[in-house]
Amino acid sequence: MSAAGAEVILGTWVPALGIFEKSMSMGKFDKSRALPDGSLMDFAKVYPMDAVFDTPDDVPEDVKTNKRYAGNEGYTVSEVADKVKADFGTIDILVHSLANGPEVAKPLLETSRKGYLAALSASSYSYVSMLQRFGPLMTPGGAAISLTYLASERVIPGYGGGMSSAKAALESDTQTLAWEAGRKWGVRVNTISAGPLGSRAAKAIGFIDDMINYSMSNAPLGEKDLKAEEVGNTAAFLCSPLASAVTGTCVYVDNGLHIMGLAKDSASLPQH
C-alpha cells in the first residue's frame, strides 16, 4: 500500500515501542521496508497503543505505574483514535494485525479462564474496539482488514491458550462487522487467513518451522515458500477499489493448504 502511495500511520504496543523505534533507527527493518523503487517505506506517525484498553478508565493502576509504560500517555484505543482524528482528520484503511495469547503453549484443557479471556480480548475484541472508534474517521468506500489463522476451523495441536477460539471469533465478527460497518459508514470489512510464515510473532508459538515444512509437504502449491509479500499483496487488493464489492470474506493465502483433508506425508499412508 505504501508503494502505491498510501500514507501509513502505525500503532505499536507500548512496551515494545522503544525497541521498535531503536531498531528502526538502526536499520534493522530496512530489508522489510524496501519499496520497488529502492526507497524505504516510512511512517507518517507512530503512536503508542495498547488495544486491550478501550478508554483511560480501563487501564488498571499496575499498568499505569509499570515502568514499561512510563513516559507514554493516551495509548488506549479511544485516545489513539482521537489523536489520529486531530492529526489526519480521516483515514481510508484500517489494518488490525495484532494478537496475544499468554497461555498459547497450553492445551485448551489446561487453559485458565483468565488466559482464555485474555486471548479473546487482545486477538479478537480489539478488532471490534478499533472499528468502533476508527470507523467514524473512515471515508466511504474504505476498508478494514485483519489476520486470522486456520486454527479457527481446524485442529492445530500446539496452538492453544484459547487462540483458536479467538481466531474463530475474529472470523465470525468479520461478517457481522461487515454488515454493520457497511450500513453505517460504507466501509468494507475482511480478514486474511495466512499460512505458516516464519515471522517474529509466529516464532513465539515454538513450532512454526515444523508447520512450514508440513505446508510444503502437503499444500497444493507445496513446492514454493509462502512469502509475506503474497499476504501483503492480497491485503492491498482487498483494501483497494479493485475489491469494492468484496466484504465479509475470509481470504486464504496459504498455498491452498486449507483445502486438504489428508496429509500426503502421513506415516500411515503407503508412499508412492
| Catalytically active residues, by annotation | 149, 159
Let me know: does 127 contact 166? Beta carbons within 8 Å.
no
The single-letter code of the amino acid at 14 is: V
Distance separating the N- and C-terminal Cα atoms of the chain: 44
C-alpha cell at 177: 462487522
Q: What is the rounded CA–CA span in Å between residue 86 and residue 130?
A: 17
Let me know: does 192 contact 235? Beta carbons within 8 Å.
yes
Q: Which of 159, 173, 59 is nearest to 108 (CA)?
A: 159
State CA 54 to chain mean position distance.
18
